[in-house]
Amino acid sequence: MMKKLRPVTGPARGGYVLFAVLIVVVVLSLVAYRYAESMSTELQVSVRASDAGETKGFASSGVHYAIGLLADPDMTGTLNGNPYDNKDLFGGIAVGDPAGKRGGGRFSLINLSDTGGTGGDRYPLRYGVADECAKLNVNSLILQDPTGETLYAALLKLTNMTEEIADAIVDWLDADETQRPSGAEAGIYQGFSPPYACKNGPISSLEELLLVRGVTPQLLFGNDRNRNGILDAGEDDGAELNRGWSEFLTCYGREVNIDSEGLTRIDLNTADLATLSAQLTPVVGQELSDYIVYVRSTNKAVAAAPLTAMQVAAPPTNLRDLVQRIVDAKGQGTRKLSSTMTLFSTQIPLTAPPAPPGMPPNPVPVVSCPLNDPAQLQSLLSLLLDKTSASTGYELSPRINVNTASRDVLLGLPGLIETEVDTMITTRSTLTPTDPATLSGAWIVTQAKLSADKFKIIEKYIGGRTFTYRIHSVGYFGKAGGPVSRVEAVVDVALGVPRILYYRDLTDLGRGFTDDKLPR
Residue type, 250: T
C-beta of residue 478 within 8 angstroms of C-beta of residue 467? no
Q: What is the number of helices (H) and of strands (E) in the chain?
A: 16, 19
Q: Report the candidate in 129, 125, 29, 38 with the shortest Cα–Cα distance to residue 83.
A: 129
Residue ranges of the alpha helices (H) in 2-129?
16-70, 87-90
| Per-residue confidence (pLDDT) for residue 54, from 0 to 100 | 92
pLDDT for the residue 172: 97
For residue 466, the number of C-alpha atoms closer than 13 Å in the C-beta half-sphere is 27
Other C-beta atoms closer than 10 Å to the C-beta of 238 total 5
- CB burial string 472-511: b at 16+ within 10 A, e below: bbbbbbbeeebbbbbbbbbbbbbeeebeebbeeebbeeeb
Cα-Cα-Cα-Cα torsion 130, 121, 207, 463, nearest 10 degrees, comes to 40
The whole-number pLDDT of residue 494 equals: 84
Which pLDDT does position 280 carry in this prediction? Answer: 96
The type of residue at 140 is S
pLDDT in tens, the chain (520 residues): 555 555 555 555 556 778 788 888 888 888 888 877 777 776 666 667 778 899 999 999 999 999 999 887 666 667 777 899 999 999 999 998 888 888 899 999 999 887 776 666 778 889 999 999 999 999 999 999 999 999 999 999 999 999 999 999 999 999 999 999 999 999 999 999 999 999 999 999 999 999 999 999 999 999 888 888 888 888 877 778 889 999 999 999 889 999 988 899 999 999 999 999 999 999 999 999 999 999 998 867 778 788 888 888 888 888 999 999 999 988 898 888 988 888 888 999 888 888 888 888 888 899 999 999 988 998 899 999 999 999 888 888 999 999 999 999 999 999 999 999 999 999 998 998 888 899 899 999 999 999 988 998 999 999 999 999 999 999 999 998 889 999 999 999 987 788 999 999 999 998 898 888 899 8
**Phi, psi dihedrals of residue 354, rounded to the nearest 5°:** -65, 140
Euclidean distance between CA atoms 192 and 213, whole angstroms: 10
Beta partners for residue 484, in sequence order: 476
According to DSSP, residue 476 is labeled E
Return phi, psi of residue 140, to 5°.
-70, -40
d(CA 476, CA 55): 5
Helix (H, G, I), strand (E, B) or coil at 157: coil
Q: Which residues face 365 on adjacent strands?
A: 312
Helix-helix angle 320-328:286-298, to 10 degrees: 60
Q: Residue ranges per domain, the chain? A: 266-389
The pair phi, psi for residue 143, each rounded to 5°, is -70, -40
Residues 6+ apart with CB under 8 A from 316: 287, 290, 291, 367, 368, 370
Neighbour tally for 519: CB within 10 Å? 12
pLDDT at residue 5, as a whole number: 54
User: Which of 128, 113, 133 is closest to 79 using CA atoms?
Assistant: 128
